Amino acid sequence: MTLVMALAAAAAGDASPPVADHAAPAMSVPDRDGAMPRSVVQPRPMGGEGRAPAFEYAYGPPATPRLQGIYRRVRDADLLRRLPEVQAIDGMFALPRRVRYVTAECGEFGAFYRPDQTQVVLCYETLHTLYERGLEQQRALGQDEGYALRYTRANVRFIVLHETGHALVQLLDLPVTGRQEDAMDQLAAILMLRFAGLDETPHQVVGNLDMAANWMLSRSTGAYNLHAYADEHALGEQRYFNLQCLIYGTDPEGFAGMVDAGDLTAARAAGCARETRRASRAWVRLLLPHLAPGYEAYGDEAVRYLQRGG
Ligand SMILES: [Zn+2]
């Protein structure tokens, strides 16, 4: 299957594969719900009026002929609008400006946020590279034919949410301490775990996050220089373990196998439940005051934060 066909299939909402296929092979996802409640936000029952979309989507034509096919398929399938978490949070927050999601030819692999244009840009080159890496893994790991597509899609979701995080921080003037890039990885994970009221099961969500973690590790050469150490992003290995810790922290008992498999050290794992809870609470608390009129938070947790914040 070519990338363009695969992307079209993904965006067309192909039938969900069996749950087990969602997980990267290195990790077995426990067959039960984690302890962390799944979602904290829902549309108000009568809130249709307030629920206006806050995002726009556009697909820029590339100049390079070899990217034309990808462009057409992505555009025809309206890929960005159909990313589940983006769909779920479109309109959820009261933003002072619209956020525009665009695909574009960038000349290199990447995705970024342009604050001056409130624009999240996903490069066609990124889609291409992710799918190629997915195919490599599919072959190396003896995965089924749909693996590369799921790998691409899971990573696109994470990447776009990371960039969405930059947009939310700017537009809602959210405080961030520590390194913003680490915070954006956390936010992307929390958005996937908690804010998007998706049809997917918790362990499908975890499977997607695991593929995002896998990508970070697979990009790494392990050979670093001063530029890498000084970069605003953590090293690929660190981003990998940070994500693994957030996954593990949702259900330490269920994910005990991750430590045995070497996906997480025992020393780090010991604090992951607390780490995940802390990150989740922080983002829930930062975001809930900014819900658009058509949405409401629910559950004791939300009520507690809103009262305290008010
Ligand atoms: Zn970033």
CA–CA separation, 216 and 194 (whole Å): 22
Number of domains the chain is built from? 1
Q: Which domain holds residue 172?
A: 3-309
Q: CB 48: neighbour CB atoms within 10 A? A: 10
Q: What is the pTM of this model?
A: 0.85
Ligand 1 midpoint to CA 184 (Å): 6
Q: Which residues pair with 111 in a beta bridge?
A: 122
Ligand 1 midpoint to CA 10 (Å): 25
State pLDDT tens for residues 120-150.
999 999 999 999 999 999 999 999 999 999 9
Highest mean pLDDT among 102-116, 215-229, 249-263, 275-289: 102-116
b (16+ CB within 10 A) / e for 63-99: eeeebebbbebbbebebbeebbbbebbbbbbbbeeeb
Ligand 1 midpoint to CA 268 (Å): 24
| pLDDT value of position 187 | 95
- The residue ranking higher by pLDDT, 34 or 110, is 110
Ligand 1 midpoint to CA 176 (Å): 13
Ligand 1 midpoint to CA 160 (Å): 10
258-263 contacts at long range (C-beta below 8 A, 24 or more positions apart): 258/27, 261/26, 261/27, 263/26, 263/27
Ligand 1 midpoint to CA 290 (Å): 21
Give helix 180-190 / helix 272-287 axis angle, nearest 10°.
Answer: 90
Ligand 1 midpoint to CA 257 (Å): 30
| pLDDT value of position 48 | 57
